[in-house]
Amino acid sequence: MEKKALDTSIVTAGRSKKWTQKLVNPPVSRASTIVFDSVADMKESASKRMDKSLFYGRRGTNTHFAFQDAMVELEGGVGCALYPCGTAAISNAILSFVKTGDHILMVDGAYEPTRDFCDKILKNMGVETTYYDPMIGEGLRDLIQPNTSVLFLESPCSITMEVQDVPTLARIAHEQDIVVMLDNTWASPINFQPFEHGVDISVQAATKYVVGHSDVMLGTATANARCWDQLRENSYLMGQCTSPDDVYLAMRGLRTLGVRLKQHEKNALRVAHWLAERDEVDHVRHPALPSCEGHEFFKRDFKGSNGLFSLVLNRGNTEALTALLDGMEHFSMGYSWGGFESLILANENINNLRTAKKKDFAGPMLRLHIGLEDPEDLIRDLELGFERFNAVLNRDER
């Protein structure tokens, strides 16, 4: 197929007539049982059960096949496995490539449930985890053991937003035949091309920007030729399957991903630059700003940013943060992100979630997801929030 411009692929990806049956969108095909016309038909289906063909509901229907094709066209790789959420995609990708006695390298800034998975489930299985500084670079070599089977990256990291030097880390891992996995959720399938940067398996919490409307949980893991057969087979054996209704909504979200991200990016940059000038803010951790660790890798490797970033405050305490957060009008409080709406949360001690390298931050952190509202309304909301925040701190000082 001829290479299309990205915005064109976002519109056309996965819309083969084989899946859509001439409708614009693939129908929502719900199925457990697939029925066959003859013994020969049934045997043929079994013989090509690894292809995208109707076999049994757990293997997917046309709705799933269309979405899988679309993800591969946009993100790259040769195949895409679907999971009921991003966390399932991460745990299944790792479980598909480790056995008892193995060792994995996990980035220190991984999503909190990813760390918990390593500390609890992998540990109980006899798989050892070493957390590494996201900025480790060539130093990664010193952490590799003879039994290291997986290198896991998340770029940018959760909350602290360090952007990793993915090609360098992947090259070092590949020298030892280690499988390289990336949580690519922040970039979505369009702002970072994992397979062009040495990644073997790229995971998405499609729950976030792919779905884009805060109403579906879904995960994907896209793999290159080296890893696809093993990932697909193991995920199938672990019973991973997804509802065609959810996949349909993800496919629908995908069609506006390009325009949504451009608007999230524009709005978030406006808010981030405003925040960077505030007295209350020590520094902003937005990959597109030089104050973010790994900004140089963002500039080199990414096509754009989005609505999610963090900042470190100069000072603050629980009461002042509560006053700020409880009074917000346009920002809601919530753990997720990637929908059309703005979200805020505070993290008072990020070092509870860091073991390889502790952060020496001036004060607590805020994480913002800037939605599609008018950014001037969001700025006014934050300005009033800082007034409440300062009122508590100034009262204490008197």
Ligand X SMILES: *Cc1c(COP(=O)(O)O)cnc(C)c1O
Catalytic one of 59, 69, 102, 111:
111
Q: Which stretch binds ligand X (CB under 6 A): 7-15, 83-91, 191-199, 367-375?
A: 83-91
Q: Does 87 bind ligand X (CB under 6 A)?
A: yes
Q: Please give the residues from 202 up to 231 whose contact with ligand X meets the rule CB under 6 A.
A: 205, 207-208, 217, 219
Q: Which is nearer to ligand X, 217 or 272 (CB)?
A: 217
Residue 111 is a catalytic residue: yes
Question: Toward ligand X, which CB reaches closer, 9 or 240?
Answer: 240
DSSP state of 272: H
Cis peptide before 156 (omega within 30 of 0): yes
Distance CA 361, CA 356 (A): 16
| Smallest distance from ligand X to CB 37, Å | 39
Which residue number, 116 or 233, has a Cβ lying nearer to ligand X? 116
| Closest to 395 measured CA to CA, from 323, 313, 312, 314 | 323
Indicate which single residue of 9, 61, 185, 188 sits in contact with ligand X (rule: CB under 6 A). Answer: 185
The answer to whether the CB of 70 falls within 8 A of the CB of 11 is no
Tell the smallest beta-carbon distance from residue 210 to ligand X (Å): 10
For residues 353 and 367, what is the distance between their CA atoms, to the nearest angstrom? 15
Task: Pick the catalytic residue from 208, 232, 285, 354.
Answer: 208
- Binding-site member from 85, 98, 247, 249 for ligand X (CB under 6 A): 85
Stretch that binds ligand X, among 80-88, 95-103, 159-167, 295-303 (CB under 6 A): 80-88
Instruction: State which residue, 62 or 184, has the beta carbon closest to ligand X.
Output: 184
How far apart are alpha carbons 148 and 177 in whole angstroms? 9
> 374 catalytic, yes or no?
no
The closest alpha carbon to 218, from 75, 394, 336, 110, belongs to: 336
Residue 396 Cβ, how far from ligand X at the closest point, in Å? 34
Among 183, 246, 280, 293, interactor with ligand X by CB under 6 A: 183
- Least distance (Å) between residue 204 CB and ligand X: 8
- What values do phi and psi take at 309, rounded to 5? -155, 175
- Mark out the alpha helices in the chain (DSSP H runs): 6-12, 17-20, 39-47, 62-75, 86-95, 112-117, 123-125, 166-175, 188-191, 228-237, 244-254, 257-276, 295-301, 318-326, 375-397
260: nearest Cα among 308, 212, 205? 212
Decide whether 178 or 205 has the Cβ nearer to ligand X. 205
* 81 makes contact with ligand X (CB under 6 A): no
Cα atoms in the Cβ-side hemisphere of radius 13 Å centred on 279: 4
Rank residues 86 and 198 by Cβ distance to ligand X and give the closer one: 86
Whether 123 is a known active-site residue: answer no
DSSP 285-354: E-TTSTTSTTHHHHHHH-S---SEEEEEESS--HHHHHHHHHT-SSPEE-S---SSS-EEEEES-GGGG-
**Cα angle at 316 between 311 and 322, to 5 degrees?**
90
Closer CB to ligand X, residue 289 or residue 343? Answer: 343
H or E element at residue 38: none
The site map against ligand X for 140-169 (x = CB under 6 A) is --------------x---x-----------
Which SS3 state, helix, strand or coil, does residue 213 take? Answer: coil
Among 60, 86, 134, 212, binds ligand X (CB under 6 A): 86
Q: How many residues bind ligand X (CB under 6 A)?
A: 13
CA of residue 284 relative to chain centroid, distance: 21
- The answer to whether residue 326 is catalytic is no
Least gap, CB of 392 to ligand X (angstroms) = 30
Residue nearest to ligand X (CB): 86
Catalytic residues: 58, 111, 183, 208
- Binding positions for ligand X, rule: CB under 6 A: 85-87, 111, 154, 158, 183, 185, 205, 207-208, 217, 219
